[in-house]
Every structure is written in structure tokens, then in C-alpha cells.
């Protein structure tokens, strides 16, 4: 395929979110600053022998980057592949990343298995039940989870408290899919409740990356299972 043909394929996508280098010097016209986030994530250079899951993949920038580093990658988004640039980028890159159109809350380890690396980028504040979403993510995570999210400040005295602001309607950035604005402490506490430990926290402005390790907490798992009706409290029921 000539460079002109590559550019013509890129032009068939009405809107690109990620800027992806699909040929040397040829990039898709994305608007998201994914390369800054990539630097904050600080992935291992060599991901051979690992399974990776990219939740909310959109055009696939991070999926293709993990594949380039040797990982076997599953990419998930709630929209069809044809409604983003993923299919065109995959074709131009010769990618073997698996794409699944699913809602995050539907994902189960019994179907997908577990993953050494899970990416949960730019999604938390878009989800009506962020704690439940983190529980789903934990069930899919074998080792590392990278969370990137919007974070807010509530003032010097308040930021030591785990706080989260609810965005009604389109009150945040005119986007009705924005539901929550947590502070850093709130995210850290929610991670602990869902059996993650934040080993590294990197913040730039109102965005923050949490590099997390999957841990085991019998108490946290027990109370979450009760809260989500997966089990009855001990001593209750037949």
C-alpha cells in the first residue's frame, strides 16, 4: 500500500481520538495526548509472554503499543469497531489485537481469563458505579493494573479526606457521560477496597495515573460480595 493509499484509508474515519503512527512519519489525526499518558504509565519495554487487556480502547493507541512491546492483547470498547478508528489502524499496522464490543460491567474472568496487565484509562469518571467497575477490573487482573482518571482538588484541608463530586447532567465540560470527580485520596481508598495497592501515583494537572498491584484482602472481598448480592453474610440464611 502506497503512502497516498494509507492516507486515503485514514481519511475514511470521520473522527480520530488517538494519534497513531501507522507508517513511518504517517500519523492519524487524533486529538488525545496519548503519548503524555504513555510516558506517565511507564510500561515495561519488554512485554513478551504477558496477556494485556485494554479497557475503553477507542482507536487502540495503547493496545497497539503493548502489542509492539510483545504482549498478547485483548481490546474492549462499548462501541462497534466500525464506529472508531480501531479497524483501520489495525489493518494498517497489521495488528493481531483481539477486539471485543462489550460493556465493562458485563466482563467476566470465566469468559476472558485473567491478565498480567490491565489498562483502565480515562473511564472511571464516566461510570455510574465506579466502585463496582473497579471490582470487575480486579477480577480480571492477575498482576498489574494501570488506572488513569480525572481528579479534583477540594482545598488543602479537605484533600486528606476521600471525596468525590457528582456531576449532574452535563455540568462537567458539557458532557453528560461525566458522572464523578474524585480526589486522589478517594481513588486510593477505592483501590484498597477493591484489592488493589497503588505503588506509584503520577499527577499532571487534573489527570492522574495510578500504577497498581493486585493484592488479596479477604475482608474487602467478603464485604464486596455481600454488597453485590454474591453471598449472604455468615450466619444468615440456610
**pLDDT higher than 70, residue 229:** no
CATH dotted code for 33-227: 3.40.50.150
Please determine, for residue 237, whether its predicted confidence score (pLDDT) is greater than 60: no
What are the residues whose beta carbons fall under 8 Å from the beta carbon of 1, sequence distance 6 or more? 9, 92
What angle (nearest 5°) sits at the alpha carbon of residue 50, between those of residues 48 and 55? Answer: 125
pLDDT tops 80 at residue 128:
yes
Name the burial class of residue 111, with classes exposed (0-12), middle (13-18) and buried (19+) by CB atoms within 10 angstroms of its CB. Answer: exposed
pLDDT band at 232 (very low <50, low <70, confident <90, very high): low
pTM above 0.85, yes or no: yes
pLDDT of 141 reads 98
CA 62 centroid distance within chain: 10
Is residue 55 predicted with pLDDT exceeding 50? yes
Domain boundaries, the chain: 33-227
165 in Cβ contact with 181 (< 8 Å): yes
| Distance between CA atoms of residues 7 and 21, nearest Å | 11
pLDDT of residue 234 exceeding 80, the answer is no
Question: 70: phi > 0 → left, psi -120 to 50 → alpha, else beta; which?
Answer: left
State what percent of residues in the chain have pLDDT above 90.
Answer: 89
**For a pLDDT cut of 70, what percent of the chain falls above it?**
96
Q: What is the pLDDT of residue 220?
A: 81
Task: Using pLDDT thresholds of 50, 70 and 90, give the confidence band for residue 228.
Answer: confident
Look at residue 231 in the predicted model and tell me its pLDDT: 65
Asked whether residue 204 carries a pLDDT value surpassing 90, the answer given is yes
pLDDT at 214 (0 to 100): 98
DSSP three-state, residue 59: coil
Q: From CA 31, how far away is CA 9, in angstroms rounded?
A: 18
What is the pLDDT, as a whole number, of residue 154? Answer: 96
CB 86 within 8 A of CB 75: yes
Whole-number Cα distances in Å, 8 to 106, 141, 224: 36, 39, 50
pLDDT of residue 196: 98
- Across the range 91-119, mean pLDDT stands at 97
Answer yes or no: is pLDDT of 223 > 80. no
Q: At what angle do helices 184-193 and 130-140 cross, to 10 degrees?
A: 50
Q: Is the pLDDT of residue 18 over 60?
A: yes
User: Residue range 21-45: average pLDDT?
Assistant: 95
Q: Residue 238 has what pLDDT?
A: 38
Angle 220-110-197 from CA coordinates, rounded to 5°: 30
In which element (H, E) is residue 8 found? helix 3-11
Amino acid at each position: 500500500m502506497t503512502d497516498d493509499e494509507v492516507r486515503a484509508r485514514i481519511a475514511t474515519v470521520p473522527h480520530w481520538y488517538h494519534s497513531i503512527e501507522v507508517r513511518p512519519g504517517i500519523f492519524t489525526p487524533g486529538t488525545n495526548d496519548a503519548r503524555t499518558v504513555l510516558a506517565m504509565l511507564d510500561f515495561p519495554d519488554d512485554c513478551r509472554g504477558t496477556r494485556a487487556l485494554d479497557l475503553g480502547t477507542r482507536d487502540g493507541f495503547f493496545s497497539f503499543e503493548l502489542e509492539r512491546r510483545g504482549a498478547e492483547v485483548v481490546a474492549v470498547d462499548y462501541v462497534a469497531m466500525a464506529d472508531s478508528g480501531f479497524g483501520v489502524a489495525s489493518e494498517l499496522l497489521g495488528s493481531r489485537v483481539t477486539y471485543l464490543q462489550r460493556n465493562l460491567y458485563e466482563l467476566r474472568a470465566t469468559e476472558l481469563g485473567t491478565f498480567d496487565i490491565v489498562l483502565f484509562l480515562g473511564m472511571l469518571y464516566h461510570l455510574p458505579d465506579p466502585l463496582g467497575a473497579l471490582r470487575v477490573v480486579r477480577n480480571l487482573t492477575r498482576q498489574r493494573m494501570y488506572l488513569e482518571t480525572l481528579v479534583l482538588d477540594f482545598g488543602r484541608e479537605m484533600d486528606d479526606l476521600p471525596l468525590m463530586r457528582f456531576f449532574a447532567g452535563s455540568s462537567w465540560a458539557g458532557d453528560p457521560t461525566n458522572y464523578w470527580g474524585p480526589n486522589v485520596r478517594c481513588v486510593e481508598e477505592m483501590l484498597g477496597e477493591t484489592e488493589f495497592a497503588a505503588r506509584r501515583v503520577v499527577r499532571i494537572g487534573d489527570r492522574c495515573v495510578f500504577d497498581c498491584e493486585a493484592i488479596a484482602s479477604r475482608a474487602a472481598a467478603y464485604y464486596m460480595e455481600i454488597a453485590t448480592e454474591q453471598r449472604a453474610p455468615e450466619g444468615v440464611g440456610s
